[in-house]
Structure 1
């Protein structure tokens, strides 16, 4: 399709550039011909970003001056940096809000894109969530900050919300599925909650990176996008795949023992959440092509 916004070469400022989704996004942007500067809070992060072929801006997501300057020097921003310490969620959300505001100030009046990350987990209220579900701040903890980003359209920014599946999988993933695998290894059983019929959406990290690149290039201001290749994989199917990979039995855990068995991830793993990306695929011409979650689990990436 014909791009509405993409320049011949964009200079994209990426926070979280050395992270799981961020590093894949940096590589995707560079492969498409764009220049990238990644935010690095440490020497190790700077080395990873440089190895990807990107420039480095030193700083952290809680430094508004660094963020404002990085945004002002760019043709657009991809904001993936986030503190995932679940014991300090309120602090993380406040830091994220201030970061979005600072990035928006750096882009104000330019019409350039600011893409921020959010999530689909918990959307829909028992039905399949779509891109038309407006953030209300009451579901996924990052929805309130999505509203902060969307309001930047009134200040001459092109805000975009990418709502990611709870599992962004692939070789090297150290997120939720890797954590569930470690619990199964430690406990000696691969478990699910109740009847295991609840669903988790999923997307391969390389498909997610392609979506981010297409959105920055072409999505209109205020667009909400779903980075979900699979509408929902049942938790029982996930547990059974982990059980096969580790060679351990698969068992149901009653709701009364969820916290004891799974710890902090238990209540998340018990959520029933299905999410469509039909509108995203139609808008961007995005078509997920990489392995599914169960295919990745069968390939053994999580069991080495």
Structure 2
């Protein structure tokens, strides 16, 4: 298949490009800069210039593809309403281009805010509905497109999609440990995160393109629950710094933006995903990755 990917030069996107090319697919990656285009073409994929605000470029990329993977997000922490608006407009545009074709559309989402007090299940719908909601309600918008003959599925990623070169949450935690000379966890450190290795996440995206029925919610989760204290301890070992509890009132100052997430339990099960697609994660676990030096 010819697969159009937004976020193709990003952390998960670049691994997905590798996975798809290895499987024999043709890949076209959205590139908003010369640097991004160079990264995409160096892998053997094609670069398609544009960004999430260039709706004509998104429409053309989707219309010319056999499948679309939407991984990009503006992540404007200072103006989340703008990020949500852009996300919804981008998804609407690409879905319009695919309508009536039965072609696959895979959309990325996170686990935060879906349920409280238990792990998220694939059967749990996203509470974000409508243009003014988180990410513009794009997950529900995509899954509802089944009535328009789009084979859409949502891949919800664990808060840590880890590996050497990661620039996500764990990288920020490592940076805070270097800055303060201690590896911290918040309170008793009993909040828990799910995790998945980057290569396993990429494999799931490929399987979703190839096999997932319309309306599927899929969880890129290899490890269901790792305590934040265990993450801090592994970082302490890897960076050779002491491990300590951080008062919740001081978490934002100590950790920055990631402090809010580090205090939150974000876990999910992936049993249905594995059974549905035959997905079998084989990459190293998060603690193994940290102690092996992936964040040093």
CA distance in 2, matches of 1:289, 1:208: 10
Preserved contact between residue 83 and residue 135 of structure 2 (Cα < 8 Å): no
TM norm structure 2: 0.96
* 8 Å Cα contact 2:160/2:194 also seen in 1: yes
Does structure 2 retain, via aligned residues, the 8 Å contact 1:124–1:274? no
Q: Work out the CA distance in 1 between the residues paired with 2:180 and 2:264.
A: 22
Match of 1:31 among 14, 18, 22: 22
> Quick check: 1:282 aligned with 2:272?
no
Q: Distance in 1 between matches of 2:186 and 2:249?
A: 10
Alpha-carbon distance in structure 2 between the residues aligned to 1:135 and 1:37: 29
The answer to whether 1:190 aligns with 2:190 is no
Matched, 1:301 2:294: yes
User: What CA deviation, in whole Å up to 9, does each residue of 1:145-183 have, x standing for no partner?
Assistant: 211111211212111100001110001101110011001
Give 4+ residue runs of structure 1 displaced > 4 Å after superposition: none
List alignment gaps of at least 5 residues for structure 2: none
Aligned residue for 1:96? Answer: 87
Q: What root-mean-square deviation, in Å, do the aligned CA atoms of Structure 1 and Structure 2 show?
A: 1.2
SS in 2 for 1:233: strand
Q: In the TM superposition, what is the alpha-carbon distance from 1:120 to its structure 2 partner?
A: 1.1
SS in 2 for 1:85: coil
Q: Provide the secondary structure at the position in 1 that maps to 2:218.
A: strand
Q: 2:159, 2:266 within 8 Å by CA — same for their partners in 1?
A: no
In 2, Cα distance between the equivalents of 1:50 and 1:137?
35
2:161 corresponds in structure 1 to: 168
Residues 40, 59 of structure 1: 8 Å contact kept? yes
**C-alpha distance in structure 2 between counterparts of 1:188 and 1:84, whole Å:** 28
User: Gapped runs of 5+ residues in structure 1?
Assistant: 1-9
Change (3 A) 1:65 1:114: same
Mapped to 1, the partners of 2:136 and 2:287 lie a distance apart of: 28
Alignment partner, residue 271 of structure 1: 264
Q: Secondary structure at the match of 1:274?
A: coil
Cα deviation for residue 143 of structure 1 reads 7.6
Partner of 1:300: helix, strand, or coil? Answer: coil
Equivalenced residue count is 293
